[in-house]
Amino acid sequence: MDNHLGYSKHDPKGHNSGNSRNGKGKKTVVIDSEPVELEPPRDRNGSFEPQLVPKRQKYFEGFNDKILAMYARGMSVRDIQACLLDMYKVDVSEGLISQATEGIMEEVKAWQNRPLDSVYPIVFLDCIVVKSREDGKVSNRSVYQALGINMEGQKELLGIWIAQSEGAKFWLGVIT
């Protein structure tokens, strides 16, 4: 709202400016079939357009993507709840967050169990060391990846594995 009006709350520049804050409205938005109450700010002229959920929009597109991005960065369910409350003033249930993360886990399991071609003429094996947060501690992890090129010349990620350290013995276990 500060950006829209051109001045912050209680700033003297706002006196007699022709437009000012006018409280908050109430709006129910559906996120994955669960209704969530929002309180978007209003201005006297009615010219303010909320950026996250525009006027008259009933569904919050991309909300699960934001939850998954936070989850992928190692945030706990409570951290995600606190972040969403701070950013959007929305109190989201643990169930909604778990539902979003479980949905992606089903896709991951389906990908892991998909059938592979019997022959890959070219296979690239690589490992990259990344920092990972687990139980509040940051440590190095080795992420192994196998990329194959199938008979049609298409690249296909064959697998991803995570281990404590990098070494040739790991690949021996994958290939055999």
In the chain, CATH 2.10.70 sits at 122-175
The most confident of 17-21, 101-105, 138-142, by mean pLDDT: 138-142
Q: At residue 34, what is the residue type? A: E
pLDDT reading at 71 higher than 70: yes
Confidence of residue 157 (pLDDT cuts 50, 70, 90): very high
pLDDT reading at 57 higher than 90: no
Q: What is the pLDDT of residues 18-33, one digit of tens each?
A: 777 777 878 887 776 6
pLDDT reading at 1 higher than 70: no
More confident residue, 121 or 66: 121
Strand partners, 126: 145
Cβ neighbours of 63 (radius 10 Å): 22
**What integer pLDDT is reported at residue 122 of this predicted model?**
97
Q: What is the mean pLDDT of residues 112-124?
A: 95
Predicted TM-score (pTM) of the model is 0.52
What are 70's two structure tokens?
Answer: 């936070």
Question: What does the alpha-carbon distance between residue 7 and residue 21 come to, in Å, rounded to a whole number?
Answer: 10
Strand partners, 162: 143
pLDDT reading at 59 higher than 70: no
Q: What is the mean pLDDT of residues 126-142?
A: 88
pLDDT reading at 82 higher than 70: yes
**What integer pLDDT is reported at residue 75 of this predicted model?**
84
122-175 topology per CATH = Complement Module; domain 1 (2.10.70)
Closest CA to 133 of 96, 83, 171, 79: 79
Q: DSSP per residue over 112-160, as a string?
A: HTSPPPS--SEEEEEEEEEEEEETTEEEEEEEEEEEEE-TTS-EEEEEE
User: Within the chain, how many helices (H) and strands (E) appear?
Assistant: 5, 7
**What integer pLDDT is reported at residue 124 of this predicted model?**
96
